[in-house]
Amino acid sequence: KPNRCSHRTSQRKMAWRGCSTLRLLLIRACLLCPLAAEAGLYSSADQVVLLTPDTVASVLRNNSAALLVEFYASWCGHCVAFSPVWKALARDTREWKPAVDLVAIDCAFEENSRVCRDFGIAGYPSLKFFPAHSGSDSKGSDIKGFPRDVLGLRHLIIRKIEEHHDSWPPACPPLEAASKAEIDSTVQTNSMEYLALVFETEDSYVGREVTLDLLQFSNITVRRVLKSERELVSELEVTDFPSCYLRRRDSNFTRLHVLNEARTFYSYALQRLPGVVRSGKSKPVTSDLLQNGTQVQWRPFDRSGVYMSDLESALHYSLRVEVAARSVIAGPALDALRSYISVLAKVNFFSLSLSLSLSHERTLDPTAALPRGVRWVGCQGSRPHFRGYPCSVWTLFHLLTVQALETGSSGPLEVLWTMRRYMHNFFGCRYCATHFEQMAEENMDSVTMLSEAVIWLWARHNQVNNRLAGDLSEDPHFPKIQWPPPDQCRECHGVKGGGEHAWNQAQVLAFLRSHYSAQHLNMTYLEKEVEVLEVLEQPQEHGKRSPGRNGRETPDPAPPEQEEEEVQKPALPRLRRSSIVSLRMRERPPDDIVDLDSFISEHYKAKAVHRAPLSGRIRQVDLQPGDLDPGRGARHWMTVLLGSGFSGLDVSLCVLFYLLSTMCLLGMYLCFKLRCRLRRTKVALP
């Protein structure tokens, strides 16, 4: 009987465990279903339109732009391998969007399977082309054997657009070659500021690509002219194909000189012409730069420089505004703050001297201070809401990656992880922080060398610039470009097979190391040390609000030193040392939590205001009459423990574990005594 009972009991336990496991699996499946909808290979940040059953009619039917749609399955290895090409194609053709757009749908997601079935998708990845103004019954045209590289796909899009007959995309400019008669007519009737002619051979795509690249820009017309148009070629004395000739209103054609005769260099040069702006954006006015939209005086600067004033402003805003926005910092946020300060402390020319544990007081150098307020120079915008703080954050972390490479004081991922954690925990623009996290998840862990960290951050910055070009946040005076441009680093740019632009990463790395070196820092516009200390000594008004998102400035009555927009770096003497931060750490509060109200007021004061050495304070404590207090001994040792790196939580856990251990030992002792007593009282049955 005991055996049968035991067997039944074990069967019931096994059945219960099986049911529990099944229930757990079902619960997990239910929880993962919503996540699967968002687990595709693309996001809206990739410049790709994400198709769902609810958006099929609005996206594919009666569309004003031609559409190239990818049907894929996220579990398909070929689709995963193809996704970087599709993303790169979307970034490369983002300026073509009014005429053509890229779409993607994940057929692996159950809700999308019916859409894929209705369009006859049998394998992945599959491409379909939908002409502009496609009807409700259109299934698109299948593209068999499509190329798997950006260049081939870009040429495929152009060929498909040119196949339009009755449904030419309204926003698409003419792509056919122009004759001399058409050019003469355009010259006489053209109201645009510029007319650009791209001379090329018949099999070249450069002219059509440049025409589409300038699609979103006004005040310029681009046409392609074939080599066979001999009369016009002879008139302008064209000898190279491809080549670009530019005519300004009421002037003659002159050749456009670029670093390489290729699509990227033509498009960049034409988009940067004076008066050429994105459609829908007002033409920049010079007076805007001088007035800056506020009472703040515009500061002329050299665009190729890195200004210490921007770095100081970035630290002021990050520490006194972004970090201070949280009244209490603990857990991962506290670790992120420690990492941020630790990385700053390793930069040689910042001259930092601070405690990284955020727990002990230190005697600090009284000659360094972090000014209050912001003073943008290289990061100033033509309006208060342009550039400013985001620009300075990029500048700061670019500089930190380069300095880590130069000094070898950090691991390959230390600075990148610091930036990632700072963005996640403190950066106010949550969409920006989310997008940076997505970029970091893609391939940040592949960085294995300090030089790779410098290149990784540079490439991600250019990726963000590509995404934000033409956005409402773009400053018309400082458009988002792929940096550095040819006029700043000619050696950084090259051309690979097919005339495609290629970055020379070795030259890019050399440029970045020079650009963000200590010798290249410009100390112009720094405040004098005496003025900084006087401001820091003044008590701050309670409840006084800090600058807005971009760190808007208070009026600066100082007259401008020069009137032109850009100036060469002046050889001015330093107004003060280039140290940026002064920290005076206090004792760690209980439970290892930082009270930011006290942290900001105490830790970031000018060190000149707190010159009393720590040893003096200790000697004073030894002479206090309270030493005779009989209860002071326990409090003293508790203070010693807390001051030695143990938090109140650590001490509490130790006491708790001690009590639990004592109770366990006591229980074992009682159990042992009980068993011994039972043995002595055991009676033998007859």
DSSP H helical segments within 198-331, as ranges?
206-213, 230-236, 263-271, 286-291, 308-317
Catalytic residue selected from 79, 172, 244, 391: 79
The yes-or-no answer on residue 76 being catalytic is yes
Q: What is the DSSP letter of 490?
A: G
Q: Name the burial class of residue 426, with classes exposed (0-12), middle (13-18) and buried (19+) by CB atoms within 10 angstroms of its CB.
A: buried
DSSP H helical segments within 604-682, as ranges?
614-622, 632-643, 648-680
Residues 6+ apart with CB under 8 A from 119: 71, 128, 139, 140
Neighbours of 540 (CB within 10 A): 11
C-alpha torsion 52→56→57→58, nearest 10: 70
Radius of gyration of the chain (CA): 33
How far CA 426 is from CA of 317, 342, 676, in Å, comes to: 11, 16, 63
Residue with tokens 């060469």: 568
Q: What is the DSSP letter of 367?
A: T
Residue with tokens 């017309």: 221
* Contact in structure between 112 and 106 (CB atoms under 8 Å): yes
> What is the distance between the alpha carbons of residues 461 and 465, in angstroms, rounded to a whole number?
6
Catalytic residue selected from 19, 30, 76, 432: 76
What b-and-e string marks burial along 168-199, b requiring 16 or more CB atoms within 10 Å of the CB? bbebbeebebbeeebbeebeeeeebbbbbbbb
How far CA 515 is from CA of 19, 304, 376, in Å, comes to: 64, 8, 18
Amino acid at 560: P
Q: What is the DSSP letter of 298?
A: P
Task: Output the CA angle 369-371-372, nearest 5 degrees.
Answer: 135
How far CA 423 is from CA of 394, 416, 419, 433, in Å, comes to: 11, 11, 6, 5
Query: What 3-state DSSP class applies to 315?
Result: helix
Q: Which token pair is 685? A: 């049955």
DSSP per position, 384-420: TTSSSHHHHHHHHHHHHHHHHHHH--S-TTHHHHHHH
Among all residues, which ones are annotated catalytic? 76, 79
